[in-house]
Amino acid sequence: MLGFSMCITLFGPSNDFRSGVSTWVGLDKQLSIGRVVGFSYEDPTVSGAGKPVTVILDKDPQTGAAIDPPQRFYVYTAGTKFSPGVNHTELLGPGVEELSLQKGKIDQADISRGAVFTVSKGEFNGEEIDYVENVTATRGWDPQRTLTAAGDENSRYVGKGKTIFISEGCWWCHTLLPEQTQDWQMFGAPPFLGDFNGEMPTAFGSDRKAPDLLHVAARNSSREWMEMHFFNPRLVQPNSIMPRYDYLWGKVDAEGNTIDYAKWRKEYTAYLNGESVYAPEVPKPAANSEVRALVDWILTTLK
């Protein structure tokens, strides 16, 4: 009896999951996040090592031709493990798998050389669908040169950001799954079947002590607001019970100056006591700081 009941609920659903066709959201998520978020060989300290970088390009780094509108590319430098869909193409779902292999040539991607991927539009059985394209194979892009061409301002450390979201336990309070109720009107539409293909962990969360975040960047896309909110949530929302994440800034700010947390707190206390009119300025995060990655992930993926 136990076996029967367990089999229904373990093997039954897997057939339904397998038929799910990757949506654009699903492809974008898994390519920008990389292989695994959480504990793994590549990143034992769960600090976001070995993740791909998402870049937004309006110019072809190889030929210089314009890309209009600007498009996202996912750069896997040499040695970075590929996302699940590239290694296990059946995860992409029927149609997407065929196009990604035939037109996208994702089977030619080589870890030792690295690769650049993008999500392209193609036609399958008369329907327009998104598929994964291995740009290194189809257009000859070199990962390192693509990164250089994009520069830091167009780079998004999405995979590392999601790792920070997991290891800091943000999802203990913020779900990533709007309920199928009037919740939709507050937090946006619920996800589709193919939105999660290749993502791990999904981190839906079961307890909501704070707003749902699945579409948060669609409601608020201000990087400055996000930084203030992470440094001390009570700077922008006096009644918030969110913890302060000032430690994600690390030791130095964007200019390389040491951040004096003691001084900041003293000035903040003075502001709370009414001794000064303005709260102290929040330091600009450095490009390699954890908060930069976290904000990149939120603004790039949670739309």
Partner 1 sequence: MLKYLFAKNDEIPAGSATIFFGFSSIFWFVVGTGLGSFNAAKLAFPDFVTGTEMFAFGHMRQVHVLAVIVGWISMAFGMTMMYMTPALGNTKLWSEKLGLWTVFLWNIGLSLGLILLWLGFTSGREYSDLIWPIDLVVICGVLVPLGLNVWLTIAHRKTQGIYITNWFFGACIFMVIVVFTVGTAPELFSLSGLTEAYLTFWFAHNVLGLWITPVAAAIAYYTIPKLTGNPLYSHRVGHLHFWAIIAFYSTPASHHLMSAPLPEWLKSFASVEGVLILIPAVAFVTNILLTMKGKWSMFVENVETKFSITGVMLAIPLNMQGGFQQTRAINWYVHGTGWIVAHAHLALLGMSSFLEAAAVYFGLQQMLRRKLYSLTLANLHYWFFLIGFCIYWISMTIAGLIQGAGKIYEVPYIDVVVAEHPYMIARWVGGTMVFTGNVVWLYNMWMTAREGTLVPRGSYPHEMAYDR
Question: Residues binding partner 1: what is the number (CB under 8 A)?
Answer: 78
Residue 12 contacts partner 1 per CB under 8 A:
yes
- 97-117 burial string, b = 16+ CB within 10 Å, else e? bbbbbebbbbeebeeeebbbb
- 151-177 burial string, b = 16+ CB within 10 Å, else e? eeebbbbbbbbbbbbbbbebbebbbbb
Of 33-41, 61-69, 131-139, 273-281: span binding partner 1 (CB under 8 A): 33-41
Choose between 141 and 165: whose C-beta lies nearer to partner 1. Answer: 165
Residue 258 contacts partner 1 per CB under 8 A:
no
Residue among 70, 110, 261, 270 that touches partner 1 (CB under 8 A): 261
Question: 240: left (phi > 0), else alpha (psi -120 to 50), else beta?
Answer: beta
Residue among 145, 209, 219, 251 that touches partner 1 (CB under 8 A): 209
Residue 211 contacts partner 1 per CB under 8 A:
yes
CA distances from 210 to 171, 240, 258 (A): 10, 9, 32
Residue among 141, 196, 230, 249 that touches partner 1 (CB under 8 A): 196
| C-beta separation of 133 from 59 below 8 A | no
Residue 265's DSSP bridge partners are none
Around Cβ 88, how many Cβ atoms within 10 Å? 12
Burial class (CB in 10 A: 0-12, 13-18, 19+), 129: buried
Of 11-19, 67-75, 151-159, 216-224: span binding partner 1 (CB under 8 A): 11-19
Of 4-12, 125-133, 147-155, 219-227: span binding partner 1 (CB under 8 A): 4-12
Q: Which of 52, 48, 162 is nearest to 111 (CA)?
A: 52
Residue 27 contacts partner 1 per CB under 8 A:
no
Residue among 50, 191, 283, 285 that touches partner 1 (CB under 8 A): 191
Residue among 197, 289, 300, 301 that touches partner 1 (CB under 8 A): 197
Instruction: Please list every residue from 70 through 109 that binds partner 1, using CB under 8 A.
Output: 84, 91
Residue among 8, 78, 218, 287 that touches partner 1 (CB under 8 A): 8
Residue among 49, 67, 101, 200 that touches partner 1 (CB under 8 A): 200
Residue among 11, 68, 125, 206 that touches partner 1 (CB under 8 A): 206
Residue 186 contacts partner 1 per CB under 8 A:
yes
String of contacts with partner 1 for each residue 143-172, x by CB under 8 A: -----------------------xxxxxxx
Residue whose token pair is 């991607």: 109
For residue 211, whether the previous peptide bond is cis, meaning omega lies within 30 degrees of 0, is no
Choose between 24 and 192: whose C-beta lies nearer to partner 1. Answer: 192
